[in-house]
Amino acid sequence: ITSFVTNDRRIIANFPGGAFYLELGKQPNQSSLQAYLWKKMCRRRSTYRFSHFKGSFASQEEGISSLSHQAQEGLPSLFVLDDVHKPSDLRPFMCFDGKDKGRILVISSDVRNVISEWENDAFVAVLSPLSSEEALELFKSTVGAFWVQIGHPPL
């Protein structure tokens, strides 16, 4: 359901530079994830040829610098970072400055801990987990109530 956010037409309208979804997990390969995100941003702008790119950055700093350059040169973007476990997992994706070039949506089962070391002067909204009923309503609105009512889509 979280990747649904990156495909919602209202969100896309607010982030013409793109809405990008990444699942980090417990031990993310941050250089590879930075490179994946960077390539997605470049492709959206058609600004770079990838024939000489090796697939990951040599360091997190190189990745942050490359992402920052793309973010500042392009239109406002949204990063949806899912399954974030530690505050240090966010640092490699902190590439937006105060010029309103983007936002980061953090999804975590321990969001208060993850944002405890948030170094940006940013708006932070911590949402409570959904109840079973709220989760079902969200699921219905995402996949369509019809399929939930009949039990499954036709084969």
Average pLDDT over the chain, rounded to whole? 75
Q: Give the pLDDT confidence score for residue 155 in this predicted structure.
A: 45
Tens of pLDDT, residues 66-121: 888 888 777 888 888 888 888 888 888 888 776 667 888 887 777 777 777 666 55
Calpha distance 39→47 (Å, rounded): 10
Q: What percent of the chain has pLDDT over 70?
A: 69
Q: Give the pLDDT confidence score for residue 40 in this predicted structure.
A: 86
Residue 82: exposed, middle, or buried by beta-carbon count in 10 A (0-12, 13-18, 19+)? middle
Whether pTM exceeds 0.95: no
